[in-house]
Chain A
Amino acid sequence: MKLLVNGTAHDVDAAPDTPLLYVLRNNVGLTGPKFGCGLGQCGACTVIVDGVAVRSCTTPVSSAARGPITTIEGLGTPDKPHPVQQAFIEEQAAQCAYCINGMIMTTAALIARNKQPTREQIRSTLNANLCRCGTHMRIVRAVEKAAALSLAQQTGGNEG
């Protein structure tokens, strides 16, 4: 089965109904997406397929083969973080960070479609993402900053 992950084509050997999460973590070697529940209840496994944030633990790999897949590793690197990652680092918005893959990927998809989300929209978008360390206050601040950083980058880009 062919997958396009973070811009690279992969030919993976997996049964079509295998959850995308295990294919990414074990076949492709991308461990940024995390296993949290396998039930679609926590968001730790979130990746972006075709522009939409999906729960890779309940998404069969066959249905993810339809579009490009982005994982947290594909957003940016420690040296060149994506604006969302940058904002999360600046706000120090993590404790253990096990949930953070889901928070960052959900946020990236959110601000791609809504450049200036309100606090209410941020909370409702993240409402199905669980964090046990209680980093919520910082995460909300980081999402607000991420939106501002992205906007600044885009405006900067247009002007330049």
Chain B
Amino acid sequence: MTSLLSRREFVEKSGLLVVGFAMSRSLRFAPGEDAPSSLPPAANQLDSWLSVAADGSVTVFSGKVELGTGVSTALRQIVAEELGVPFDRITWIQGDSDRTVDQGSTVGSQTVKRGGAQLRQAAAEARAALLELASPKLGAPVDSLIVANGVVSVRGANDRRVSFGELIGGKRFERAVTGKAKVKSPSEYSIVGKPMPRVELPAKMTGRHVYVHDVRVDGMLHGRVIRPASIGAKLLSVDDSALRDIGGARVVRKVDFLGVVAEREEDAINAAKVLKATWSESQTLPDERTLADVLIKLPATDRVSTDSGDVSASIARAAKKVSARYRWPFQMHASIGPSCAVADVKRDSATIWSSTQGAHALKGALAGFLGLPPESVHVIWTEGSGCYGHNGSDDAAADAALMSQLVGKPIRVQWSRADEHGWEPKGVAMVMDVSAGLDETGKIVGWDYAVWTPTHSSRPGGGAGSANLLAAQLTGAVPASRPSLGGDRNSRHTYTIPNTRVVAHLLESSPLRTSSFRGLGSPQNTFANESFMDELAVAAGVDPVEFRLRHLTDPRAIAVVRAAAKLANWQPRVSHSTTSAKGRGFGFVQYEGTEAYVAAAVDVDVDESAHSVRVTRACIAHDCGLIVNPNGLKNQIEGNVIQAISRTLKEQVSFDRSRVTSLDWRGYEILRFSEIPESIDIELINHPELPSVGAGEASTSPIPGAIANAIYDATGRRLRDVPLRI
């Protein structure tokens, strides 16, 4: 009998190390031996997804990973529910390029929706298989059997029973995932929908959880990178004489990639500090103050996503015309832990520990970068600091891999705070123009929207190969031009307007390197749409909630708008009817036009003389279909709200003509405890009869507009440039 945990020879050799380190608190790994080839398990095979041990415990192999948002708990609830085993009997293996199915990267709020659906189906197939095995054993037809707590029994005869462990313990299912196994009806759910405590929190709260920063491999050296003095600068010379006094520290260089390694971490840090490098100076960036003007002139591909009716004519003959331009700056993911990775690259194989969102994509990219066949590269996802999108994790993995290949030893690379602030791919700066016309009754008759946006995706892997990795670029790779992604997300709002045009100018380049950050273009576009809805409501002399309701037809949209207004005890008024230090603002989105519905009412205190704005309360109504874990969902929404307040009021990446100059937490401030609201009130609208849709990011989007609207309500000043400064 073969245990599934060792179903691959390589897993037999290294699997214990992986499982062992998570459980035993030993952080030490033996360096990987020469690894035989390995490709990810096939999605259409049941054994790729889960295994049952002789004692009945279940191991699930999830391609989707925990990013701090609680998905490993929510997904475990889905599997426990569908399979019929106790929640705590499930062991979770995630994001291992050799052991888990390639479910795509953990991005775009798709984890519960898509990843959860795949896991649910696999668990349903396993349950069906177990019932078929149990039927002859129990001498009863399948439809007379019931499953509970990992045991199959005959309905009405509880003593005729057999456990999952007895049925298949330690053996393979050897069965395809057909997609035909029947899943449970939500009315039968007893685990899904419960506020299960997050599985990994006791370890996290007691310092036992192993993050990628904590991985140690025998014989490992500590590495630090030294980034170019300016973006695009070439390395002219290196003087390592100062390293002589630092025990064993040495330089690692390839073209413009520069790093140091040392046995001790503090020596690597000191070596990076004292090493003298001369770089060519280059000025590739525009004047920060003219960013918006520069963006709208960059070469672009135009995409018209909506063009209905006669927009120009309808606005031209409207009773009232309004137009505005909104601007959003570059922002940072700003993870609290700078990116880190450990790599052990041998002549013909490589093992990389990384907090990447896509172990499989990174595997392919690194294989190309290192010149190794993909099957000899093993990426082991290990949790990092919360990332909210594509931060420096993949780049740090490539740094570690390159250094390990050049030095011939396992290397751990820890980015400094300045490395992360300066070189993580940035959240995208955008410009949004809107104009619209109102008829005499205050109805919107035409809407004309244009957005200028660089791409929101420059992940490695897939068609992009390795050229999106910083280390690849520093050693000569030039990223191929790729389709621009994500900037038109929520450019088209959900309101019903007869004549509507939405154009996205997808910029072919960007002053700063950009990639996905929570919500992609949705917060920016929704900031413009929701601010503008308020401007129109003022022009129409109508209460902003009422004005939105007049233009909504989708009952779920109407329901969240009403629910948020009720939660906030919203009193109908025309915005800024009276001057007051306090204001209220409203915002709404249906994320991506197909996902969660969110409405937000926020209260602000404005002190114009002190130039300060504080959000004192946020009321959120949220509908994402079936709720898997209500407490986890609330946690995620609260996080989105706080982060969105921070992005709206405080955050902007500064740069001079050559480089990013926001290099620490003073140069890039985020919201602090003294600035948080007094309360965030949340109403979850559950729809057990509907599938779960993404909820990871949605509640970010309505906040920026709601804050701008609240500031207008208080002061009569319409702020259109983020960060909003009074």
Contacts and interface: CB of A to CB of B under 8 A. Distances in A.
A112 interface: no
Given A41-B664, A42-B336, A132 B643 contact: yes
A97 interface: yes
Interface in B654-682: 664-666, 670-674, 676-677, 679-680
Contacts of B68: 94-98, 133
Given A98-B211, A123-B674, A132 B335 contact: yes
Contacts of B592: none
A131 B646 CA distance: 11
Interface residues of A, number: 60
A7 interface: no
Contact of B417 (A25, A38, A73, A128): A38
A39 B336 CA distance: 13
Main secondary structure of the interface of A (DSSP, over half): loop
Interface in A77-97: 77-78, 81, 85, 88-89, 92, 94-97
A26 B265 contact: yes
A104 interface: yes
Interface in A15-67: 15, 18-19, 22, 25-26, 29-39, 41-42, 44
B385 A77 contact: no
Contact of B207 (A18, A19, A32, A135): A32
B13 interface: no
Given A73-B208, A124-B674, A37 B664 contact: yes
B209 A75 contact: no
A138 B677 CA distance: 12
B640 A134 contact: yes
Contacts of A124: 673-674
Given A100-B205, A127-B672, A137-B642, A44 B266 contact: no
Contacts of A129: 673
Interface stretch (B93-101, B553-561, B631-639): B631-639
Interface in B178-228: 197-198, 201-211, 213-214
B336 A130 contact: yes
Given A31-B27, A36-B336, A133 B639 contact: yes
A150 interface: no
Contact of A30 (B203, B207, B266, B385): B207
B338 interface: yes
A136 interface: yes
Contacts of A25: 214, 265
B67 interface: yes
A140 interface: yes
A122 B672 CA distance: 12
Contact of B383 (A29, A73, A96, A127): A96
B573 to A, nearest CB: 28
Given A95-B68, A95-B69, A134-B646, A100 B204 contact: yes
Nearest to A90: B197
Contacts of B666: 41
B70 interface: yes
A41 B486 CA distance: 33
B74 to A, nearest CB: 13
A72 interface: yes
Interface in B405-442: 414, 416-417
User: In the complex, which of the residues B639, B666, B671 has the most CB atoms of chain A within 10 Å of its own CB atom?
Assistant: B639
A29 B21 CA distance: 14
A52 B383 CA distance: 30
Given A78-B206, A97-B205, A34 B417 contact: no
A76 B197 CA distance: 19
A127 B207 contact: no
B334 A132 contact: yes
Given A132-B670, A135-B635, A101 B385 contact: no
A35 B419 CA distance: 13
Contacts of B671: 134, 136
Contacts of A34: 211, 213, 336-337
Contacts of B211: 31, 34, 98
A75 to B, nearest CB: 7
A44 B417 contact: no
Given A97-B205, A127-B672, A37 B665 contact: yes
A139 B673 CA distance: 10
Contacts of B385: 96, 98, 132
B126 to A, nearest CB: 29
B511 interface: no
A6 to B, nearest CB: 10
B646 A81 contact: no
B642 A134 contact: yes
Given A42-B336, A92-B631, A78 B202 contact: yes
Nearest to B672: A127
A38 B206 contact: no
B665 A78 contact: no
Contacts of A101: 207
A19 B266 contact: yes
Nearest to A73: B207
A18 B67 CA distance: 32
Contact of A89 (B197, B210, B646, B665): B197
Contacts of B383: 96
B641 interface: yes
A130 B665 contact: yes
A126 B670 CA distance: 14
A73 B214 CA distance: 14
A99 interface: yes
B373 interface: no
Given A88-B205, A89-B202, A36 B642 contact: no
Contact of B202 (A73, A81, A136): A81
A134 B201 contact: no
Contacts of B368: none
B669 to A, nearest CB: 9
A130 B646 CA distance: 12
Nearest to A122: B673
Contacts of B642: 134-137
Contacts of B582: none
B326 interface: no
Contacts of B665: 37, 39, 41-42, 130
Given A41-B664, A92-B197, A31 B673 contact: no
A134 B620 CA distance: 15
A98 B335 contact: yes
A99 B197 CA distance: 19
Contact of A134 (B205, B206, B638): B638
14 contacts: A22-B264, A36-B337, A38-B417, A92-B631, A94-B201, A95-B386, A97-B209, A98-B68, A101-B207, A124-B673, A130-B670, A132-B335, A132-B643, A138-B638
Given A71-B207, A73-B207, A98-B68, 12 more contacts: A26-B264, A31-B210, A37-B665, A38-B417, A77-B206, A92-B198, A94-B204, A96-B385, A126-B673, A132-B333, A132-B388, A137-B676
Closest 4 A/B residue pairs (Cβ):
A32-B207, A96-B68, A134-B642, A96-B386
Interface of B: 27, 67-70, 197-198, 201-211, 213-214, 264-266, 269, 333-338, 383-386, 388, 414, 416-417, 631-632, 635-636, 638-643, 646, 664-666, 670-674, 676-677, 679-680
